[in-house]
Chain A
């Protein structure tokens, strides 16, 4: 969807250095039943103008990534116990929360799954939109209001002049998500984190919101991290993706490469379990078993109990991310048997 070359985008950095670099991030949650390691040694880069998708099922830790970057981990239960989040020469993992939040208000923005609970129900949307302009940029009331109106028009709210005085509940779900996007983009962030932005929306609305996001990205040259469980949405929006399972990245690379040639059995299983033209009337090929409990992970590769390829090695040793032999660089999978998975029909 991003047809713009990263280099031509207005605010893209000329160098090839990543905008955000997450390295070996490890996050733990302490619960009454024990300590759950929500993320284990997660590493990825995002460059300006690029969209990286983080794909995974519930509980795989994909939202924890967003929370870690934005310093939104629930305290005191969740904490970063290892790794770095490098942004603009700073390590966000090591900085104090207020400093990270300051940055997040301006350069890194986020939109959530449920726009209704992210908007304050007792204020008009105009006032909520104008707040960042007034607080962060010190604009006057009138100027901030004009800016808000401009934003509302940009995200495609019809009749924006009158709707700006409405309250959040007076908008439909899709319009609320548009308003959230407007708020997130108000201060022209360099990175937008979208956590399941369309999961609560109907497919027709989802399509509109996704294309709005793509247009805005092309316009501003911002980078985007899209967190999603939907293989189709990821293919639609992202160029690169990281697929997560039980707190680890199990496969990463260009979306098309991974979908056409999955090198991890989990990716392969996901792709095969989706109903498609060929499965009509017949049986689906599900992944057996259930996602693991983070408090009681199997030894070795966390996917091994559900994996048709699993060997003794898989039950003993955790595989590291690697490029399968004779495969082009950039496509990595955390599997001892990637070569076999790739050649398997």
Chain B
């Protein structure tokens, strides 16, 4: 994977890889609230089916909620599937973080496992609803580490 400076050299550290976030959140807003607390550049995939998020230039991590029924169908939101159907987006996808609710049993955070398998990227983390302080800390730390790794392999 080629890491590109996603900020287009606007920052003085032009060589650094900025790992951006792309996420989907329905109007219930749990994933949105989680992403807000991560304090990172983030792009929201539009809820409206006739709107699209422009392809991402640089490497990004997808944060995706799960909407599976009892049998696991429909776990990945349609808007996210459409976004991943664009091959440029899949190429820039570094990993996936899944949100969900353990009360849904075996389908908890299933969307993350499906996207990871489909796109051959690692599942980075799973969390419930809008996340706890522990989830925020682990995710921030994990993203920073991943960013360093990408940076060292980018040359």
Partners in one complex: no
